[in-house]
Structure 1
């Protein structure tokens, strides 16, 4: 499929700060680095001492985790 050059540049910029699970595909990464998405992706993080407003539960046996260092 087609992938805009901006998405590839975004991914190149952030790639060294990612820890990837063994099931992460290049297509998954390109989706997260999409240069055309305007706030449409959900990213979940934890702030120590922050208010808990919901919970996310990883799928059992999931090997497609992506962590930003």
Structure 2
């Protein structure tokens, strides 16, 4: 192990960003413009704070990835 290697730690959920691709479409029933958000991966900050590690499970057709803060779903009662 080199001197500059930082030990890996599990990323905190609060630091996580979700990656989405967004498809715009027209609702046939109402004629309204709608958006379909499809989660395609996650991003975690690097240990040195100078970037992100992005893990994608699929790729967007248009090449655009939107990163949003992770918001855990509340437990159903």
Q: TM-score higher than 0.5 here?
A: no
Structure number with greater CO (CA < 8 Å, separation at least 6) is 1
Structure number with higher helix proportion:
1
Report which of the two structures shows the higher radius of gyration computed on alpha carbons.
2
